Amino acid sequence: MQHRSNLTSNKMLFGLSLISVSILSACGGSSNTTAPEPEFVPVTSPPNLEQRQTSDAALSTPGASAVSLYIKNGVYLNAQQQIFGFPEVVNTFNDAAASGARGFSQTNTQEVGVDEADRIEYNGEYAFSADVPVWYPEDGYSPKVRVLARQDDDSLQEVASLDIPETYNVGGLYLADDKLGVITQSAPSYPIDIFRTSFFAPIGTGETKVTLDVYGVSDPSSPVSDATVSIDGSLVNSRRIGDDIYLIMQYIPVVEDLVVGAENDDDLVDNYNALLRLDDEELIPSITINDIESPLFSLDDCAIPSDVKREEGNAQLVTVVKIDLNNPANFDATCLSAEANNLYMSAQNIYLTAGYSDTTTIHKVGLDSLSYNASGTVDGIINGRGAANLRLSEHDGNLRILTTNYDDFSDPEHKLFVLAEESNSLDVISELPNDAEPAPIGKVGEDVYAVRYFGDKAYVVTFERIDPLYVLDLSDALAPKIAGSLEIPGFSSYLHPIGENLVLGIGQEVSPNNLPDNGNDVIILPTTNGMKVSLFDVVDPQNPVVRAERVWENAYTPIEFNYLALSVLQEGDLFKFALPVERWLQDGNLFRGTEYSLVGLEVDANAMTMEQAMQLVVKSEDDLYIYSGEDRSIIHGDNVYYLRGNSFWHGTWSATSELSGPY
């Protein structure tokens, strides 16, 4: 069910609190058709309520009265238990969209056609960049979005800037034709990808709102404010398909004047009666578009667990809001009640997952009608090293997910599941290992370091002593199998398919001399020697081989933890990759400083070769440490732009390139 915008001036007051991430999906309808509220009947003794935990039960829309009671019960329990923490969420990839047609690189995304917010956007003539928190002692930090024009000599010049309130975080940028979307947030939160995009780092205090500012940039040197959309709640994540931006948000109503941590019966009774008197609108987040406020959705259309009992409650809501950049006043919203700490989005559906000690619950929201579709559960969890969303992929209508079961008394166990939607259920139709294919994914004691899907194959890297690369054959959804594997020293933390025949692995090298002997327990992980990039030939899935590899000693790349840091440009059979690198300089055993650079690699997909083409080295400013995890780059033909901190540097795609800047 979905709620389409109906802008009215309904003023509402609510507070926000963030508890573990949850979801309320399927909101819709018009608030003008809400059924009459039942007559208020006060309680005379404290209610015996129970906090509803997550389950794989299908969700349903029982109507405003049932949803209202469910949320009010949750608010009551929150106040009693003094739960006012922030939610625990974990960072949440398929082949990135080809950028060769435009002649310049674009955001490295998980799914073709599904854009992801980043701190940088580029249209071939103008670069848009969101400043990240870099505090200089003399002038502090003032957030803003810079607009820089490409000059005739290929340098950059700032031509405009968009100021952001100091109490706001920049949550990322989207550029669609002549529209720029700037997502900001007014107070602390922990979005799904906080561990890979620290420009989301929380600052500020007070009520949390997410704001989408839409600018017309037909003339980027003079951006025009088209609309400001502000929504109560905290940002979980966002995506863009075409002109539509999807905001996935969490919201928990907090009612003022309740006795927090109440213990005596009088206070408990007063708390519950105060909640029963509340109008339903006070439980709903609001959306404000150009100063016109309205409810984001109607409780009539909110989905809660279909098997919920009257004495159960949960106040946590997650909403999915779709906003058209060309007409922000025309929005859709949906809400569900469930927990979620990871997000994966295909071109057709959103999958919200919640991992617990040994299971993962999945809720599916369809994008065509922006409505709740189905729920399911699999053994194991997806939280671990690397981006959790890389462990999921939708293909031919089915969901593939690779999980790990961590047991205190045994080694990690990894499984791949294929799920299909049936009615309101996500049913497991196959898994690996199985009776016909009993071989485990990974050797004893190995953990999963990277997962990547490409068509009907999956590539999995596990690691404890060495780096096995597994190729999984998923061509038969009912009979997945391990096609082949390859063992090399070190490990890959990120995998990037290059067509059907090659995979680029980015991670760390481990010297064989540092490996423990066979049969010995691994108490401490082997010492890593530096950043490693490998080119895998997977033409024969049963016998993958390494075609090329390079190692940079005492170095790492943030791509290991954040795939947005990688830039890719395809020119026919030639693939250009730009990798930000942080390297620690040593003189014997003495630390001499840190070197920051952008390394350019060329992969010839036809010849199956990989060579280093260039390296742009940027000196640290006054020995001030600036986290390299926010470094970005643009490849435009033979020109390269390196965003280090909040400054751009320019060079060319050649071994003799000279560095110019900063801009």
Residue 623 carries which DSSP code? G
pLDDT greater than 60 at residue 637: yes
Reduced to 3 states, what is the DSSP secondary structure of residue 391? helix
Residues 75, 315 contacting (CB under 8 angstroms): yes
Confidence check: pLDDT of 84 > 60? no
Strands 338-339, 22-23: pairing is antiparallel
What confidence tens digit (pLDDT) does each residue in 204-223 have? 334 789 999 999 999 999 99
pLDDT score for 74: 93
Going by C-beta distance under 8 Å and a sequence separation of 6 or more, which residues neighbour residue 603? 498, 502, 504, 535, 574, 575, 577, 609, 610
Which pLDDT band holds residue 139 (cuts at 50, 70, 90)?
low
Predicted confidence at residue 211, as pLDDT, reads 96
Residue type, 578: A
- Tokens standing for residue 25: 């999906």
Q: Which residues of 13-25 are buried (b: 16+ CB within 10 A; e: fewer)?
A: ebebbbbbbbbbb
DSSP one-letter code for 274 = H
Better-predicted residue by pLDDT, 15 or 211: 211
Pick from 389, 350, 395, 394: nearest CA to 368 = 350
**pLDDT band at residue 143 under the 50/70/90 scheme:** confident
Residue 444: pLDDT band (50, 70, 90) is: confident
Lookup: tokens for 95 = 């082949």
Model confidence pTM above 0.85 = yes
Domain ranges of the chain: 120-245, 396-553, 567-663
- Residue-wise pLDDT for 581-598, tens only, equals 998 887 777 777 788 999
For the chain, the 3-state helix, strand and coil shares in percent, each to the nearest 5, are: 10, 45, 45
Confidence of residue 123 (pLDDT cuts 50, 70, 90): very high
Which amino acid is it at 565? A
Most confident of 170-184, 243-257, 489-503: 170-184
| pLDDT greater than 80 at residue 441 | yes
| Number of Cβ within a 10 Å radius of residue 656 | 7
For 252-305, the pLDDT digits (tens) are: 987 888 988 888 999 999 999 999 999 999 999 999 999 999 999 999 989 999
Model pLDDT, residue 373 = 95
Q: Could you write out the three-class secondary structure of 48-107? A: CCEECCCCCCCEECCCHHHHHHHHHHHHHHHHHHCCCCCCCCCCCCCCCCCCCCCCECCC
Give the pLDDT confidence score for residue 19 in this predicted structure: 34
Region 51-57: what's the mean pLDDT?
79
What is the CA angle 517-523-525, rounded to 5?
A: 80
Chosen CATH of 396-553 out of 1.10.150.120, 2.130.10.10, 2.70.150.10, 3.40.50.2300: 2.130.10.10
Q: Residue 351 pLDDT > 70, yes or no?
A: yes
Burial 604-640 (b: 16+ CB within 10 A, else e): bbeebebeebbbbebeeeeeeebebbbbbbbbbeebb
Which residues, in sequence order, are bridge partners of residue 89?
none
Could you tell me the pLDDT band of residue 524, with boundaries at 50, 70 and 90?
very low
Taking only the tens place, the pLDDT of each residue in 373-429 is 999 999 999 987 888 999 999 999 999 999 999 877 778 899 999 999 999 999 999
Q: From CA 570, how far away is CA 602, in angstroms rounded?
A: 10
Section 349-367 average pLDDT? 91
Is the distance from CB of 286 to CB of 5 less than 8 angstroms?
no
611, pLDDT greater than 70: yes
User: What pLDDT is recorded for position 466?
Assistant: 58
Beta strand residue intervals within 261-303, DSSP E: 286-289, 292-295
